Amino acid sequence: MTRTLAVIALVLACAAGASAQEAPRAASKATASASTPLNLNAATREQLEALPGIGARTAERILEYRQKNGSFRKVEDLMNVQGIGEKSFLKLRPLLTVSPARAERVTP
């Protein structure tokens, strides 16, 4: 019985070590799935890459689109970016929002 417990403890310790190595990557993905949606008009490349299915090149295309066309007016405008189709968009939709970027806000 004691030997069985020792083996189980060793297996759990090994699994915990592997999980600790994956923690930085998992933390960045967790940021993308947090309860607060990501603002497309203020998102950084790193924040965009943390979204599911968005790699470095697609994140760069989103930033290029934003720079060329100005702020996203609605989340659906993301489908105008090459590499983001309807299927990808539907997965991302709950994770995103659009509001004016800080620099674009007009004070009355």
Whether 39 and 74 have beta carbons less than 8 Å apart is answered as: no
The C-alpha angle with vertex 79 and arms to 74 and 82, in degrees rounded to 5, equals 135
Instruction: Look at strands 96-97 and 38-39 and give their pairing.
Output: parallel
- pLDDT recorded at residue 35: 72
- pLDDT recorded at residue 108: 57
φ, ψ of residue 96 in degrees (nearest 5): -120, 155
- pLDDT recorded at residue 11: 42
- pLDDT recorded at residue 100: 78
Query: How would you write the pLDDT of the chain (108 residues) with one tens digit per residue?
Result: 545 444 454 444 444 444 444 444 444 444 444 579 999 999 999 999 999 999 999 999 999 999 999 999 999 999 999 999 999 999 999 999 999 765 544 555
